[in-house]
Amino acid sequence: MRRVAVLSVHTSPLAQPGTGDAGGMNVYVLQSALHLARRGVDVEVFTRATSSADPPVAHVAPGVLVRNVVAGPFEGLDKNDLPTQLCAFAAGVLRAEAAHEPGYYDVVHSHYWLSGQVGWLAADRWAVPLVHTAHTLAGVKNAALAAGDSPEPPMRSVGEQQVVDEADRLIVNTEDEADQLVALHGADPAGIDVAHPGVDLEVFRPGDKRQARAALGLSPDEPIVAFVGRIQPLKAPDILLRAAAELPGVRVVVAGGPSGSSGLAAPGGLVRLAADLGISDRVTFLPPQSRGNLAALFRAADLVAVPSYSESFGLVALEAQACGTPVVAAAVGGLPVAVRDGVTGTLVAGHGIEAWSSAIGGLLRLGSGPRGWAMRRAAVAHAATFSWERTVDAQLASYTNAIEDFAAARGERMRVVGAARRPRRWPARKGARA
């Protein structure tokens, strides 16, 4: 394995998580690229340029570079507008490869369905296998919509089906996501590999709570529950505010930026909700935080809440636990893998306010007692079992299987058809017409 082309059309791995469309996927793409490079694999990440200041190529670390492809206007395009720019993006990707000798990339790894559409074309053109990670699925999101949220369009479901049909292998975050691909898109279970996301244990680790609170300007004494992520109905920060309104004296810290177009998809909407609930004096709003500040916030909090309606994994939950902070999370998607119910935190079924206030209050009451300390120690130990090294182990195994299967299929194709009868640079891909 020499070189991987990674496609991340709609969001750059260099973007600040917690605002716009940047979140756990950005962390996943960047961290896996950095760790692949440490194994001697060169990684080139193709993403759409969103500013005229973006350099055509950004050298992130030895063996990792990000190509900012110009496709459409730099600003003003919503994620739902990006399908109109896939041709332009694909052209930029193909032109970059055309400057090299054939066989420059060994495999294409696409992230999210938009990237999968481009990856499908690139893999065909370059005669290499396509490995795809969906991260989220339209069918899953639409089955668990928050109030006021907009459903994913049918176009996305169709596009996801096409990518599943064409990908040589699929990498998922959890076994639950594998089951969803099989149920919703008829994916072949034998072609799915599980690669749990990891956590950077050098950044996210336990530390002094009072020092962290002082650095963030927070009270040393009041109970604090933190929410970290994009401000959008899917992430459900409003559930946390409504639950906190039932818990006198509890401070909520919300760290994140706007994402989407609904009334709750901006900090201003939450500010108004806090006022309506009469808790403005105990809600603190922070902008998206750097990794170092994020770790400090996790250490400062008594509890981190992840009330999402849908979550393919939940890196925030894992990072918080690595800092020794228990998590209260919705029992959806990959969160039951990220959080050990009753051991490192609490999983809540549904989004009823009474259930959430009860779960939060119950964890806060453990405080610094024996059960509270046991939960914090268990949280650190649990997070330590997830590393980016293990993630990359699984990715490399998936790449190897994809390459071997692709080569075998090409050999069989050449044997049956005969190279002289029908010369072509690439074999027919599964799902393609002969």
136 is in an annotated binding site: yes
- Cα dihedral value 127, 132, 138, 141, nearest 10: -170
Is 21 annotated to bind ligand?
yes
**Residue 23 assigned as binding residue:** yes
Taking alpha carbons only, the member of 130, 366, 358 closest to residue 344 is 366
Tokens, residue 170: 């699929």
37 is in an annotated binding site: no
Q: Any known ligand binding at 79?
A: yes
Known binding residue 112? Answer is yes
Q: Is 132 labelled a binding residue?
A: no
2 labeled part of a ligand binding site: no
Q: How many Cα atoms sit within 13 Å of 283 on the Cβ side? A: 26
- DSSP category for residue 231: B
Q: Quick check: 226 and 301 in contact, CB under 8 A?
A: yes
- Per the annotation, does 298 bind a ligand? yes
53 is in an annotated binding site: no
Complete edge-to-edge strand list for the sheet that includes strand 64-69:
57-61, 64-69, 42-48, 3-8, 107-111, 130-133, 169-172, 192-194
44 is in an annotated binding site: no
Please tell me the distance from the alpha carbon of residue 187 to that of residue 205, in angstroms, as a whole number. 38
Residue 180: count of CB within 10 angstroms of its CB: 21
User: Annotated binding residue at 5?
Assistant: no
Q: Any bridge partners for residue 225, and if so which?
A: 252, 303
Q: 3-class DSSP state for residue 190? A: helix
* Ligand-binding site membership of 235 (annotated): yes
Rounded distance between C-alpha atoms, residue 418 and residue 421, angstroms: 5
Residue 16, annotated as binding a ligand: yes
* 141 annotated as a binding-site residue: no
Q: Does residue 319 have a known ligand-binding role?
A: yes
Residue 144, annotated ligand binder? no
| C-alpha distances out from residue 427 to 158, 409, 423, 430, 434, Å | 24, 8, 10, 9, 10
Question: Is 341 annotated as belonging to a binding site?
Answer: no
Residue 22 marked as a ligand binder: yes
Is 325 labelled as part of a ligand binding site? yes
Summarize the annotated binding site for Mg(2+) as residue ranges. 298-299, 301, 325
Summarize the annotated binding site for UDP-N-acetyl-alpha-D-glucosamine as residue ranges. 16-17, 24, 230, 235, 289, 311, 319
Summarize the annotated binding site as residue ranges. 10, 16-17, 21-26, 79, 112, 136, 156, 230, 235, 289, 298-299, 301, 311, 319, 325
Summarize the annotated binding site for 1D-myo-inositol 3-phosphate as residue ranges. 10, 21-26, 79, 112, 136, 156
